Amino acid sequence: MPHIKVKPFETEELDRVIRQHPYFTFRAIDLQGKHEMLGVSYEEEVFMLEIKPKEGALQIKPDSISRPLSVDKIKQVLALLVEILGLEVLYSNIASSSRKLALAEQYNKKIEDFIVPQFTREKIAIEVGFGSGRHLLYQAQRHPDTLFIGIEIHTPSAQQVLKQIALQGLENIWVINYDARLLLEMMPSNSCSHIYVHFPVPWDKKPHRRVISEDFLREALRVLAAEGALELRTDSTRYYYHALEVFSLPPKIDFWVEKNRELAVVSKYEDRWRAQEKDIYTLTVIAREHSEEKQRSYDFLFDGRGLSPHLEALPTETLVDAGYFVHFERQYCIAGGNNRMVRCAFGSFDKPEHKYLLQQGDEVVYYPQNPVQTKVNHLAHQKIGAFLYG
């Protein structure tokens, strides 16, 4: 990830930068005194830079929660900051190369694009965790009438596929760098013909992190149109038995198993497993029924009273309720005024959200964007509001 190390400077200089340059929006100071955050709004990307002492220098890098997928934009912002402040750079990995492929930015989608999605094809398919993108790109080439939504939590993989989209001139792929389990809940019912889950991480030591679960299956069957298919491929015997158990739970379901089925295109992982003569299991689930549309729109607004003036009163322990949790992780003050910011984790135990609560005058908003619109997140939102104002 792009970052720089610079000779230490007075970070109060950032306040001048904020006043004079619209790309920089606020400076948040960690109340524990460990680091600062610089708000950025640059070419439709909203994120923060973290400024932290390290090895006698100041390291400046994108914040892990809010960082955008576009590496080039991060590099441009870092270079701009160095130029404006005249910083002495001790280390940098932000040099751009004209030989590198540009990202197909228009196909890089965000969670808010799925609140009222404007799909570009009538037929839709989803691939969860596309990795190198071989299968996703192949399917998009073969089926130009279908919009393929590729979901990948690994940022470099998402960036590489966006480059391939530009290189191959494809117009029927959307890429989203997010947790697939959350995104699936944003999809309209009966909207997809296929959901592919090829070689998910087995998570043998942390099974709660597995993609395939009872909740995921329920959402997949809701999102799939009648006769639509969920296809899982795995080389893990443990994952195979786990999926068999999950797929056997509904009172009525159609699924079948194939062993070592050949595909026209395979991932680099499958190439590796086949070279090792490992068995490959394919489990296919068919949706047979039309699903009712679920509520996918929730209000994530607060009531306009700002954050509590006594931040120390916020609980530091994790608050657990029926089916969700809230944890106030870290607190900040905003330089130059009385505004504040809180880093917060909340929502479902196995697919949590990580956001900031940012005070802007009398208003509190989620930063960099609202949570995924799910019932669990909304329950957690109400709990957060009760602690902020209760």
Peptide bond into 368 cis (omega under 30): yes
- pTM of the predicted protein model: 0.85
Give start and end residues of each alpha helix (H) in 51-173. Answer: 71-85, 134-142, 155-168
- The confidence score (pLDDT) of residue 70 equals 86
* DSSP run (H or E) holding 294: none
Burial label, 241 (beta-carbon count in 10 A; 0-12, 13-18, 19+): exposed
Alpha carbons 49 and 26: distance in angstroms, whole number? 11
CA dihedral of 357, 363, 368, 369, whole degrees rounded to 10: 100
Count of Cβ atoms closer than 10 Å to residue 104 Cβ: 20
Burial label, 251 (beta-carbon count in 10 A; 0-12, 13-18, 19+): exposed
Domain ranges of the chain: 4-92, 119-286, 311-389
Q: Say which residue the tokens 């009222």 belong to.
A: 116
- The confidence score (pLDDT) of residue 69 equals 87
Cβ 107 vs Cβ 178: under 8 Å: no
- The confidence score (pLDDT) of residue 338 equals 82
pLDDT less than 50: residues of the chain: none
Alpha carbons 334 and 326: distance in angstroms, whole number? 23
CATH code linked to domain 119-286: 3.40.50.150
